[in-house]
Amino acid sequence: MAPFAGMLCAAALGLLSARFLHRATPGAVIALSAVACAAGWYDAVADGRVLYGTVTDFHIFFPVGRFSVSDWLTFLWSAAGVGCLAAWWGAAVSLRRTAGLRRLSRRYTTADAVLEGWRSAGRKYGEVTVVFEDRAGVRHEVPAVVERSALRRDVLAVYDADHPGDPALTRVAVPHRKLLRLS
């Protein structure tokens, strides 16, 4: 029953952490689940229940063959490595999409923005005009390239406070959708 309980816990972890980990969630869940399973095998070896050369019939949904404990550990550490790479890739995509690093900088400021116009610049991207008001209430219209998915979402203009109309210093951030809106 432990593998099934572990899978349910991993699914719950993924659902609960998706709000904070964004696109890094699947990779993080895979990596943590593989490390937890490997820790279980190491505990079983330390308790003397199995040896590294012991061949097991361990399977989750269907029999995949008879593998030794060391084969399972090799597979699990490989899965953990792939999960880590997927988590880093997902984190990088999320940071770029949400302009997370720019938003942390004191140099940049955010403002609610509206995207106007759309001219395709590839399959997923297009050129738009970002319309926003800076802190002084001055309206700016800045050209930008955004993903097509940004057209149907609330967006933020992340701009340099000293040069709010500069297209080279202005980015469009697509914040993560809120799960529950209380307003």
Q: What is the pLDDT along the chain (183 residues), one digit of tens a residue?
A: 677 788 888 899 889 888 788 889 999 999 999 999 999 999 999 999 999 998 887 666 666 678 888 998 999 999 999 999 999 999 888 887 777 777 777 778 888 899 988 888 888 888 899 999 988 889 999 998 888 878 888 888 888 888 888 888 888 888 766 554 444
d(CA 20, CA 171): 22
pTM of the entire structure?
0.69
Neighbours of 82 (CB within 10 A): 14
- Chain centroid, CA 174 distance in Å: 13
Could you tell me if 108 and 160 are in contact, meaning their C-beta atoms sit under 8 angstroms apart?
A: yes
Is the CA virtual torsion 84, 85, 89, 95 positive or negative? Answer: positive
